[in-house]
Amino acid sequence: MKFPERGKAWQDLAGLMDEAAEADIDWRHGRTPLYVFYASEDVHEIGQRAYNKFFTENALGAKRAFASLKKMEEEVVGMALDLFHGPQEAAGHMTSGGSESIFLAVKAARDRYRDRHGAAGGPLNMVVPYSAHPAFNKAGETMDLEVRRIPLADDLRADVDAMAEAVDERTMLLVGSAPCFPHGVIDPVERLAVVARDRDVWLHVDACVGGYLAPFVRMLDYPIRAFDFEVPGVRSLSADLHKFGFCPKPASTLFFRTQEDFERSVFAFEDWPNGRFSTATLVGTRPGGGVAASWAVLNYLGTEGYKRIAAELMRMTQAYVTGIEAIDGLRMWTRPDLTIINFGSDEVDVFSVADRMAKRGWLPGLTQAPRGMHAMLSMLHDPVRDTYLEDLASAVAEVRETGETSAAVKAAY
C-alpha cells in the first residue's frame, strides 16, 4: 500500500466504497444475527439527520463550548433515569459504548472499595455470571482485578447462591445482566441485590443490550422482572442507546444511584500545561453527532414509539420461536425475555446446521455452552422470517440425513 499521491473525487470514492461493501454481509436483509439494530426507516433517518447536524461538534467540549450538546446530554440522562426509576440523587452520563460504560462502572466500584477498605492487600475480585459480557474481563485485565465467572443455574440465569458463595472479603463487585447476551434472559437482579446488600458489595446491572427495550416490553405487560434502580442495592446500570435504543453508534449510557458513586467514575487532572482536565468518560474527544442523534431519536419516538416497536419486536420474536419449535429436532435452550433467541438440538449437530445456514448466506450466530444457534432480532429480521425458517428446516433435514458432526464454523462474537 502506498499513501495516495493525488486525491480522488467523491464519485470515485463512493464507487470504491460500494465495491468494497459488496463483500459485506447483507445486513439490510437480516442476514446478520448481531452487530446492527434497526427499528424503521424513519427512525434511521432521524438519527442520521441529527447526527449530521452536529457532525463537527465535539462532546468533549460540551461544558465550555457547546451548550447545545451539554443540554442534550443532560436531557438524555434525565429521560433515561426516569425510565430506570432513578432516585432524585441519581446521576449519569453518556459514553461511546457498552464496554466503556462497564469499564467506568468497574473503576468506580474498585475506587469505592479502596475508599472503604484501603488499597493494601491482594488483588480485588468481581463475581459475575458465566454469561456476563467479556467487557468485565477487559476491565479486569486492565485494572488487575480477578474475574470470577460462576456457572449458570439450569435456567441459564445467574446462579445467585453460587455467586454468593464466591464472594469473599476482597470482592468489590457483583454483576447481573438484563438480559445477558448469550441466552437473552434477565438475571434475578432482586436476589443478587440481597446478596449485595448483605455483603456490602457493589451491584452493577449490565442492561447494555436490553436497557432501552425491557422497560417498554414491561409496560406491555410481558413478565419482565425488576432490574433497575427500583431494586434497592443496584448501585449502577449500563444501557446502550446504540442497540435497542435504535440510536446511531457510538452511544451508551451509564448511571449511578448516588452522586458520590458518579464522582468515582470521573477523571480529573491538573498537573500539565493546560490546567484542569476532567472527563466522565474513558475517551476524550467524543462525536457531537452521537449525543445529538440520541437526543433526537429518544424525543422522536417517546414512550409511545418505543412501546410500538417493542410490541412488534416481541410479536416477531414469538413467531421465530414458534417457527423454530415447529422444526423437528430443534428446541429452544430457554424462553427469551426479550428478542435474543438461543436454540439447539438433542438430535443433530447444531453447528453443522449453522454451517449449512452460512452456505445459504446467513452469518451464523453461535453459543458454545450450550452448543446452539443464537440471534439478536431487530426489525430487519421480520421480512425474512419465512426464508430463514425454510432454510433452517432444510439445513436440519440435510444434517439429519448425513449425520455429520464436524462443522467448520466456530462460536465467535
Binding site for ligand PLP (CB under 6 A): 97-99, 102, 133, 135, 177, 180-181, 206, 208-209, 240, 252
Quote the least distance from Cβ 51 to ligand PLP, whole Å.
17
Between 352 and 378, name the residue whose CB sits nearer to ligand PLP: 378
- Looking at beta carbons only, is 226 or 389 nearer to ligand PLP? 226
DSSP state of 29: G
> Residue 384: which residues within 8 A CB-CB, separation 6 or more?
29, 30, 31
Three cell numbers, residue 392:
433452517
For residue 122, what are the contacts with CB-CB under 8 A and spacing of at least 6? Answer: 170
What is the rounded CA–CA span in Å between residue 202 and residue 173? 5
Q: How far is the CB of 296 from ligand PLP (least distance, A)?
A: 20
CB of 128 or CB of 231, closer to ligand PLP:
128
State phi, psi for 331 to the nearest 5 degrees. -150, 150
- Give start and end residues of each alpha helix (H) in 200-272: 214-219, 259-264
Shortest distance in whole angstroms from residue 266 CB to ligand PLP: 20
Cβ nearer to ligand PLP, comparing 99 with 125: 99
Q: Minimum distance from CB of 99 to ligand PLP (Å)?
A: 3
Nearer Cβ to ligand PLP (339/352): 339
User: Least distance in Å: CB of 340 to ligand PLP?
Assistant: 8
* Min separation Cβ 77 and ligand PLP, Å: 17
Considering the complex, state which of residue 90 and residue 239 has its C-beta at the smaller distance from ligand PLP: 239
Q: Cβ of residue 59: shortest distance to ligand PLP, in angstroms? A: 16
Report how far residue 323's alpha carbon sits from residue 382's, in angstroms, rounded to the nearest whole number.
Answer: 13
By beta-carbon proximity to ligand PLP, the closer residue of 69 and 209 is: 209
Contact yes or no for 187/155 (Cβ under 8 A): no
Q: How far is the CB of 288 from ligand PLP (least distance, A)?
A: 19
Spatial CB neighbours of 392, under 8 Å, sequence gap ≥ 6: 323, 324, 327, 330, 353, 357
Other residues' Cβ atoms within 10 Å of the Cβ of residue 364: 22
| CB-nearer residue toward ligand PLP: 181 or 320 | 181
Helix, strand, coil percent values for the chain (each to nearest 5): 45, 15, 40
For 299, residues 6+ apart whose C-beta sits below 8 A from its C-beta are: none
Please state, in angstroms and rounded to a whole number, the distance separating the CA atoms of residues 395 and 328. 11
Taking CB atoms, the residue at the shortest distance from ligand PLP is 98
Cis, peptide link before residue 370, omega less than 30° from 0: yes
